[in-house]
Amino acid sequence: MNAARLMSDCGQGRLRVDFLPDLTFQELERRVIEATQRNPQARMAAVLPEELPVRLRRYLVRAAGIGVARSAAVLEREERRHLIHAVKAHELTVNGTLGWDRAEVTRGGVALEEVQSRTMESRIVPGLYLIGEVLDVDGPIGGLNFQAAFATGYLAGEAAGRRQAGR
């Protein structure tokens, strides 16, 4: 569901973020335990993987209800699990948008070489249509990104409709 519509209908939305998607809960927990064993006097943020920026590590420690000044050696198992959960399934409340006048787009995405330009169908996964910000397309602020999203959406919709109709 569109986040702006969700907030319009419900007043707010929830967003769940995995800050280290390449690690399982168990792998992250093992790394935290190993870091604690190597340096028991380390502060809590220091035992989280360095892939996370320091300020984010400190924030996640606080979000888990743990004091940032505590040493890792005194962390109890349940507290460690709260910390891992804060990293792997951090929940944020989304209260609103800044509206169309302040809307921004992302950069990066699926390489255009992987998409059929006339239909927006994936060359890798037939039947999958890719549009808008999912694609590696962006331009300066001023509506060009919206136009790309609308145009690719139209192409994909038309092609998907033809595919569904068997044409």
Q: For 25-42, write each residue's pLDDT tens digit.
A: 999 999 999 999 999 899
- Compute the C-alpha angle 30/24/20, nearest 5°: 100
Instruction: Give the pLDDT score at 85.
Output: 96
pLDDT at 1: 45
pLDDT tens for residues 150-161? 999 999 999 999
Give backbone dihedrals phi and psi of 136, rounded to 5 degrees, phi first. Answer: -80, 70
- Up-side HSE of residue 147: CA atoms within 13 Å toward CB? 6
Supply 109's token pair.
């995405």
Residue 129 φ then ψ, to 5°: -110, 135
Segments of the chain scoring below 50 in pLDDT:
1
CA 9 to chain centre: 23
- Model pLDDT, residue 122: 95
d(CA 59, CA 90): 11
Q: Which two tokens stand for residue 127?
A: 């039947």
pLDDT at residue 8, rounded to an integer: 63
pTM of the entire structure? 0.57
